[in-house]
Chain A
Amino acid sequence: MKKLKLWLILSMIICLFLSDQVLSSGKGDKVSSEKFHEFNINRPDLWPEPTSYAGHIPVYEKFSNIEPMFHLDNDTTYIINFWATWCKPCLEELPYLEEVNEKYKKDKIKVILCSLDFPKQIESKLLPFVEKKKLKSTVVVLLDGNFNEWIDKVSNEWSGAIPVTYIYNGNKKYFADAPFHSTQELEEIIKPFILNNNLN
């Protein structure tokens, strides 16, 4: 009888220990997978390291430095807009991009505003502008002036005029070679990207 009791207690302890193990390991998995998920969204491992910073804004010297930003392989839809503070139609469409960036955050949409401002005007024009407008989208600077070397790497449909917007999610791509005239116009374009994302 005593032996049986001992066995019972022992097995209970083992059970408890095991269940705790299983539970905690389960929890652990969950946490790490969540972490992995977050990690996956932002891909800090693949997000290109800037050459320098202007204020808080990452600056990329050469297109090759920023190129990984056009090939991030995760479930985020990247909307990369080429603009400059000197480009009037660019400034006119900025509010639409900003709105989409805010509105679709939960849908893993990320707007990147890639400035092609004159290198000499980054501090004097771009920074004050970003500050004044309180831009929420991710602003980056690309200094590479050898456009002929890299324009086709973004899209061979791009003539060189700005603004243009390159949208991608994995292998799905869209190139808009003209400014958007409303938030709705941009929403229509990104709809299939979100739809695909939800199905995946």
Chain B
Amino acid sequence: MKKLLLISMSLVLVSFTGQSAKDVGSVKKTTEATEITGVKVGEKAPYFKLKNIDGKEYSFKNIMDGNGNKPKGYIVIFTCNTCPVAKANEQRIIQLHEKYASKGYPVVAIQPNDPDVVPGDSFNAMKTNAKEKGFEFLYLFDDGQEIFPKYGATKTPEVYLVDSNLTVRYHGAIDDNARDEEGVKEKFLENAIMSIEKGQDPKPETTKAVGCGIKTS
């Protein structure tokens, strides 16, 4: 009887060790890098004062709309010269500013990449690109790469629609086809602007799209 007990006990033990070994093998859910902090929809847009390609510094205080008035909102877009997805969105960004700056919603583009890592995104290269493509909007340089983490931007292009109270109202993609303008069916950002105009909350208030990771050293 004692022997039997011993055997059954050892059996239990064996099954237990098997179990704990399995636990050791269980997988960590997330990497450290996934802990993205940043501003959420409904929160205050982080302050910035950044140099534009014209050499002047801009913040929410001195940015004006297409008619020289205080904007009703700001289309803040983290974008750059070099990312193919950002390039695929250049014309759309130009058109957004053309269409909405005079309606009170100017585009404020911010270039977040570190030129030491991506020479094609240097301040001079930003000036050249803006001139070639005919950017009419502000193209600010996040010198030192301090602003994009406050927003929690991870890629280019990435949009934050900020209202006149400086509250973030929409965050994400310009539309539902970042790679190919011809394939666009839903214009998320424009719909969000229309919602604000009507005094409603944008729906959806956040969207996702593929883009190039922001490059820092």
Residues of A at the B interface (CB closer than 8 Å) are: 82, 86-87, 89, 116, 118-120, 145-149, 151-152, 157-163, 172-179, 192-193, 195-196, 199
Contacts and interface: CB of A to CB of B under 8 A. Distances in A.
Given A86-B84, A118-B88, A162-B213, A148 B154 contact: no
Interface stretch (B31-39, B46-54, B99-107, B138-146): B31-39
Q: Which 5 A-B pairs have the closest CB atoms?
A: A161-B155, A161-B213, A195-B25, A196-B25, A86-B84
B28 A174 contact: yes
Given A118-B88, A146-B177, A148-B173, A196 B208 contact: no
Interface in B161-217: 172-173, 176-180, 183, 185, 188, 204, 207-214
Interface in B17-75: 18, 21-22, 24-31, 33-34, 36
Contacts of B18: 199
A160 B25 contact: no
Contacts of B207: 148
Contacts of B27: 172-174, 192-193
B155 A160 contact: yes
Interface residues of B, number: 39
Chain A facing B: main interface SS:
mixed
A160 B209 contact: yes
Given A161-B154, A172-B27, A116 B210 contact: yes
A159 B152 CA distance: 10
Contacts of A146: 176-177, 183, 185
Given A161-B213, A192-B25, 5 more contacts: A119-B179, A146-B176, A147-B176, A192-B27, A196-B25
A158 B34 CA distance: 8
Contacts of B25: 192-193, 195-196, 199
Nearest to B154: A159
Given A151-B208, A160-B209, A196-B22, A175 B154 contact: no
Contacts of B212: 87, 161-162
Nearest to A194: B25
Q: Which interface residue of A82, A87, A145, A193 has the most chain B CB atoms within 10 A?
A: A145
A87 B18 CA distance: 43
B179 to A, nearest CB: 5
Contacts of B26: 172, 192, 196
Given A159-B154, A161-B213, A176-B31, A118 B208 contact: no
A148 B208 contact: yes
Contacts of B185: 146
B27 to A, nearest CB: 5
A118 B21 CA distance: 44
6 contacts: A86-B85, A118-B84, A148-B173, A159-B36, A160-B211, A173-B27
